[in-house]
Amino acid sequence: METTLLCSAYLPPVSFFTAIKNGGDVVIEQYDNYCKQTYRNRCVIATAGGKQTLTIPVVKPDGPKQLMKDVRISDHGDWRHQHWNALESAYMNSPFFMYYQDDFLPFYEKKYEFLLDFNMELTMRIMELAGINKQLRLTESYKKKDPNVLDLRDMIEPGINEPENPRPYWQVFRQKYGFQANLSAVDLLFNMGPEFPEYTVGTVSSV
């Protein structure tokens, strides 16, 4: 299988793990320019009030551009407490939240300096809990294109190149809102637990 190249993401969507599961070696880009309003510092979960976006505040860079590897997390707005409360409120009635909560709570009690480190450790924890046995490594430099690499750096973003015909699964608020596809993978994990890999079977491709 060819190498899959992805951007760093906070509690990435299901499509992110579909790409990881179905690809070969997995590499996370750290030398790209940080972009706002992407999954790099935000995720989407399902709540009683509908979809909710959780955004990690970051320290404003000194210049107009900043590499992803250099982005620092801000403590503004007590976001850790707010994000954990949102996750707990949204998924406390899901079948597996109580089972997995101790795996995630420490991430919201510890202060991470860099967004990349936080995202990487969270992603690896989800992979571990979901039974996805692959290693992640970081890029050593920025390369525009490589014919031997499935480049998904710009593909797995909000509203872009969503997986076709995702397999629905049980969700806490499905009766109220219908099935909501490609939310953060914690939605799939908390609702389906060890069945997680069965729902990461779609296709995500570059353009």
Indicate whether 160 belongs to any domain. Answer: yes
How many domains does the chain divide into?
1
Indicate whether 197 belongs to any domain. Answer: no
pLDDT for residue 1: 67
Mean pLDDT, 10 residues at a time, the chain of 207 residues: 91 93 92 93 96 96 92 94 98 98 98 98 97 93 89 78 77 95 96 94 60
First to last CA, the chain: 18
Indicate whether 23 belongs to any domain. Answer: yes
Indicate whether 200 belongs to any domain. Answer: no
pTM of the model: 0.93
| Other beta carbons less than 10 A from residue 104's beta carbon | 20
pLDDT for residue 45: 98
Indicate whether 207 belongs to any domain. Answer: no
pLDDT for residue 135: 87
89 by Cβ neighbours in 10 Å (0-12 / 13-18 / 19+) ranks as middle
Question: Which residues form the domain of 49?
Answer: 3-192
Indicate whether 11 belongs to any domain. Answer: yes
Indicate whether 202 belongs to any domain. Answer: no
pLDDT for residue 147: 84
